[in-house]
Amino acid sequence: MPEAYNPKVIEHLVRPRNVGELESPSGVGESGDATCGDVARFNVHIRDNVLENVRYKAYGCAACIAAGSALSELARGRPLLDAARVSEADLEAALGGALPEGKGHALPLVLDALHKAFEDHWNRNAGEMLVDGYAAAFGGGSNGRKTVVAAMSGGVDSAVTALLLKEAGYDVACVTFRLHDGERGSRSCCSPDTVLFARDTAHRMGLPHFTLNLKDLFDKRVMSDFVGSYAEGRTPNPCVACNAHVKFHAAAFLSDALGFERVATGHYARVVEGPEGPTMARPADATKDQTYVLWPVPRELLARTVFPLGEYRKEEVRGIARDRGLAVAYTPESQDICFIPDGNYRRFVRKKVAAEPGEVVDGEGRTLGRHAGIVDFTVGQRRGIGVSARTPLYVTEVRPEAKQVVVGRKEQLEAREVRVGGMNWFLDPGASEAVQVRYNGGPVPCEVEEVGGGEWVARLAQPVAGVAPGQSAVFYAGDRVVGGGVVRRGARRGGG
């Protein structure tokens, strides 16, 4: 045995704890390191949120075997929240101090295997929620305590969110979602490296951390919709779809499973009381306003949601991270579309659907050229149309049935009316004073009218260019969100 290993490591090697497999485990997790061949596998039995029993097997170097034994001993018999709080530092202390140089990888490896077993446990309990969405009533329970599940993406906003909640006296449990197979080393909020980083960040704050595998749900409700929308001539917003069907509902599932009351995210928004219950309001930092992508959150779920960053400016959030010594203080902003690392959405869509060629036509139906597929076009697009003209041309409409892309002058993009469906209202629709039809666009004064079939028309006080079907239309009264929906089409374009 190498002399560098201290007596506690040797003890776990000579008398390993909890070795083996459990019959009918609640969850199983395995993690490995391809560079050295180490593999750790954990079986857990969880009942009433207590880790009643645990077994492990480890293959590879002595450090991995000893770390697995020590972790099983630390976690066994503890409340699940306490077991999920065990950190690399705790494990290192249980092994008598720092491992020899080059052996430290054993600590995150065995922790990852245990947490994958927890993840498997939640997946089995969630069942069809991971495919169809969480359909339970949003109840929650606190037993007189301030409790919250905080979504943690690995960035500065979500980390400071969890920290502020802890400092405000909440019992905080952090959760990271596996949404897709992100690339290692990428800036994606769901890459394998990000999950490990988020867990370590939570543990350094003394908080328990869980992971939920939502890949099937994300694929069905976000990625498939994203691809299908372009194939049908619409312009989707995947962040809206994710908030509508995935992240908030998954956080509510975990909150209910733990007996917690609230959920929290690092979005820049506020929850305020309205005449008909809670509603959403713009944040203090107008440059980071994310209410536009949050409109689908059900009112019942919004009532138990906390947005701690709503009262802060972005520079203040980074300052808090720096002052508290959080490693995330200097992390860059996340990318726009998390599942498309290179930002080339056209190439991504073309891998999923067969793009058929068609015609580029003007508003009168005259053929101006050919295109390679409507998936390459969105309303308002100027570049890449493939047709030359004396004045710049813009995509004014996409007709999937006819495989046509309609182009025209800029003024032909202007809409005086916007038809919206799939509504989610927080306040009486009549309270609407303005509508926002693009994430980076400003609010435009409007009047709204119900037109039947679950659809509404917003009549705009001034024309808006490039209203794209599939995007969101969010209605405001001052800084409060009245409600939102999905753009069906714009109407009354000038010059056409």
What residues are labeled active site?
242, 338
How far apart (Å, rounded) are the C-alpha atoms in residues 249 and 151?
11
Phi, psi (degrees; rounded to nearest 5) at 394: -130, 155
Q: Is 403 in contact with 374 (CB distance < 8 Å)?
A: yes
For 460, residues 6+ apart whose C-beta sits below 8 A from its C-beta are: 415, 416, 417, 418, 435, 444, 445, 446
Q: CA nearest 28: which of 71, 57, 60? A: 57
Q: Which two structure tokens, joined as six digits, stand for 310?
A: 């709503």
Torsion, CA 37, CA 204, CA 265, CA 291, rounded to 10:
-100
Residue type, 323: D
Cβ count within 10 A of residue 23: 7
Say how many residues make up the chain.
Answer: 496
Residue 386: exposed, middle, or buried by beta-carbon count in 10 A (0-12, 13-18, 19+)?
middle
What DSSP line would sit under 71-114, residue for residue? HHHHHTTSBHHHHTT--HHHHHHHTTSPPPTT-TTHHHHHHHHH
Q: Tokens 């009262």 sit at which residue?
A: 311
How far apart (Å, rounded) are the C-alpha atoms in residues 224 and 245?
13
Q: Which two structure tokens, joined as six digits, stand for 195?
A: 């999950």
Residue 24: exposed, middle, or buried by beta-carbon count in 10 A (0-12, 13-18, 19+)?
exposed
Going across the sheet that includes 358-361, the strands are: 367-371, 358-361, 404-408, 394-399
If residue 445 lies in a helix (H) or strand (E), which one and from where to where?
strand 444-452
Q: Is 114 in contact with 42 (CB distance < 8 Å)?
A: yes
How far apart (Å, rounded) are the C-alpha atoms in residues 64 and 57?
10
Q: Is 219 in contact with 84 (CB distance < 8 Å)?
A: no
Phi, psi (degrees; rounded to nearest 5) at 61: -75, 165
Phi, psi (degrees; rounded to nearest 5) at 23: -80, 135
What DSSP line would sit under 223-238, residue for residue? IHHHHHHHHTT----H
